[in-house]
């Protein structure tokens, strides 16, 4: 992969991660956190897609490797929802 393809992949992952944070309503970080959430969401989403026997919707091809946009958003949303449930802020007394 070239440098441009890696930067585009990180950009798409960042957008997917930030959309997932917006859907859940939980944001605990900046751009790097969104990129990591997008990449984790892509892994989790493709695992769910294969387990359910569903194909890729709206996938982007990066030099022979596909990045599933919809499954990345779904996987990142599930991951962010679990993170928000685990790390709820307790009210200060």
Residue 92 included in any domain: no
Residue 91 included in any domain: no
Residue 1 included in any domain: no
Q: Do the Cβ atoms of 35 and 17 come closer than 8 Å?
A: yes
Domain total of the chain = 1
pLDDT in tens, 16-31: 889 988 998 887 778 8
Residues of the domain holding 40: 6-86
Residue 28 included in any domain: yes
Please give the model's pTM, rounded to 2 decimal places.
0.83
pLDDT in tens, 35-73: 898 889 888 988 998 899 888 778 888 778 778 888 888
Please give, one letter per residue, the 3-state secondary structure of 21-75.
Answer: HHHHCCCCCCHHHHHHHHHHHHHHHHHHHHHHCCCCCCEEEECCEEEEHHHHHHH
Residue 54 included in any domain: yes
Residue 58 included in any domain: yes
Residues 23, 4: Cα–Cα separation, whole Å? 29
Residue 93 included in any domain: no
Residue 70 included in any domain: yes
């Amino acid at each position: 992969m070239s440098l441009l393809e890696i930067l585009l992949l990180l950009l798409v992952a960042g957008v997917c991660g930030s959309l997932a944070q917006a859907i859940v309503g939980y944001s605990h970080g900046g751009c790097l956190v969104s990129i990591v959430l997008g990449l984790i969401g892509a892994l989790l989403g493709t695992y769910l897609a294969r387990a359910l026997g569903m194909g890729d919707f709206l996938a982007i091809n990066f030099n022979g490797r596909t990045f599933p946009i919809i499954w990345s958003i779904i996987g990142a949303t599930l991951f962010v929802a679990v993170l928000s449930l685990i790390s709820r802020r307790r009210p200060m007394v």
